[in-house]
Structure 1
């Protein structure tokens, strides 16, 4: 294969990765997530955010809420970003906001249940416990380092009014229904466990509830602001996600070529068929993961932090690609990858950097990588 042909293969792998991402995630995951983010920014009152998630909020309430928020969200490291950006823009403290950022993709119910079912019950339980613990620890550390800078991100625009009443005074059931229906739409649309023949009847009443609330309880200005905020997050975040995903495809293609494979050839591993550029990075490191060591746990954390993993994909990656179900991967690196993988990725880091700046992003990424490594070592060497 000539150098020109190799270059074409690499570029095709980048395009293939990007198209796969668009096909799998734009409609079912990102669109609902962008609308939820726009709703957080336009509808959720400053009083609520500052009361429960600001740097001045009671730590027990703020970090408890932020650390378990992911239980209700079946989202990946990129889908969580619009909601995180919405909270941070609205004035949430850096500690609770980053705890939410980590917990969102790390502890969603579908991922925990799938991990326990496909890999092992102990590993699924360890993932849940360590994810909640890490979310709180990461948030508290971020608040300790940058807490004095909280409030820089808060908007100062006046509250939207509704017939002379501040939006923050809207009945709780209306706000709950507005966000609850959207979260439920996201959960149902994003899951791969249901067919669209089942999803359709489940989604219809949720859209009906959302439509009724918008018609009966929101005025035209509030709805327009919701759309404007949704568009703001879309145009700010979506291009970065596409660029980052394309780069991931290029990295996978180079790893495939280094092993003598065509980036687009198919490979069967553990009964599953993959395109070479999607699995090549893991094939390069498989021999290292046979036991729990600082190197294997650290490498598992690093691979998870760099690669983009759609929700639930981390389970077959650990089980089949890296061979956990066949005894080829030890418990320590498996847990480290499961913790870091859903919460970080190259596209994810780019958007976080744009949202909270270089210093905060560097510390957050470091905390996730180090905490995932330590959790893997503790689990693989002491608790198993």
Structure 2
């Protein structure tokens, strides 16, 4: 009985440790700015812009071109992209462009691509960028085709106490909208960057907050600001608890994998030059030897691992390079690319929120499309190498 209680305690502690690590790394620098951006999209972005460029009836070239490359400017992970995706979808974006944006956000942000090319080599970094853009467009088109009948009836909506109602956004100069969202995206990029010191961040953020404050004071009325804050709170209370629960479960999964290998879930484990808690690396240690060559098994398994594990943005690079041994030649290029594509775009917390946002059938198809496309990309890349 005592030993069983000890095991349960270790598992729970690992779940708590994973959750606390998540809160420390992401709440202030990533999620808070993302929630405000989502609230702004839902409350202040013109309905006509969304439906014109990302709606179900929007020209396919425009919609998927914008959605597939939109992630370049966003240094976000699979969870941070969720409030922005939910905001676009609730605002009236078609399911195709919305899911293309959902995938591209974490997959092709410029920081991740540059970091991948620098640490893992230019060929793998370039392959990640090219395949991510192609996958975003293909996944979005497949989702739109599968649910084309439902998408034709989708329109712009905002939340009200009684449900949803059709709205038409107000008009304002384009530069105001661009500056409003541009300043918030810049705040997110700078705050989330791990390459800048605190002093540099403060110096860079100060003028951006000043610009944002000026725009709110001069260009927006009190009703618009209140609606923005209400929408921000809606996304926060809807999404944040799900992320916490999902992250706790990830810690438990890692703890079970550590115990299966005879490790205490919280004991330090050195992987290369970095040290991790055992529960953070145990799943990779169980599967490392499988990834020595590009096969359907190795790429398929990489897509499954990437879909389940939560990878904060940029962390997928040391995970592939050090944890799974790509830089030491222990992991082949095919499964490495698959993990880089599926890992940042999916996670267990991410799946839960997507399911709550777009429903069971659409979520299931999206997950299958990401897994299959990432596996195919890895097989193709490994074969070319």
TM-score normalised by L of structure 2: 0.97
Cα-to-partner distance string for 1:107-127 (whole Å, 9 max, x where unaligned): 000000000000111000000
Which segments of structure 1 move beyond 6 Å, counting only runs of 4 or more?
none
Given that 1:95 and 1:147 are in contact with CA atoms closer than 8 Å, whether structure 2 keeps it comes out as no
Q: Is 1:59 aligned to residue 68 of structure 2?
A: no
The structure 1 residue matched to 2:218, chosen from 216, 219, 234, is 216
Residue aligning to 1:251: 253
Q: Distance in 1 between matches of 2:288 and 2:299?
A: 12
Match of 2:79 in 1: 78
What residue is the counterpart of 1:188 in the other structure?
190
Question: What whole-Å deviation, never above 9, does each CA across 1:120-156 have from its counterpart, x for those lacking one?
Answer: 1100000000000000000000000012112446313
Q: Is 1:277 matched up with 2:286?
A: no
SS in 1 for 2:294: coil
Q: TM-score, normalised by structure 1?
A: 0.97
Match status 1:23 vs 2:24:
yes
1:1-384 to 2 correspondences below 5 Å: 2-150=3-151, 151-152=153-154, 154-155=156-157, 156-159=165-168, 167=170, 169-381=171-383, 383-384=384-385
Q: Per-residue CA shift, 1:165-224, capped at 9, x if unaligned?
A: xx1x21000000000000000000000000111000100000000000000000000000
- 2 CA distance for matches of 1:13 and 1:147? 43
Q: CA deviation at 1:45?
A: 0.9
- Alignment check: 8 A CA contact 1:93 1:147 kept: no
Which 5+ residue runs of structure 2 have no aligned equivalent? 158-164
Q: Is the 8 A contact 2:94 2:154 kept in 1?
A: no
- Determine if contact 1:335/1:376 at 8 Å carries over to the other structure: yes
Structure 1 unmatched runs, 5+: 161-166
Deviation track 1:319-372 (CA, whole Å, cap 9, x = no partner) reads: 000000000000000000000000000000000000000000000000000000
Deviation at 1:3, TM superposition (A): 1.0
- C-alpha separation in 1, matches of 2:134 and 2:327: 26
| Root mean square deviation, CA, Å | 0.8
Query: Aligned with 1:299: secondary structure?
Result: helix
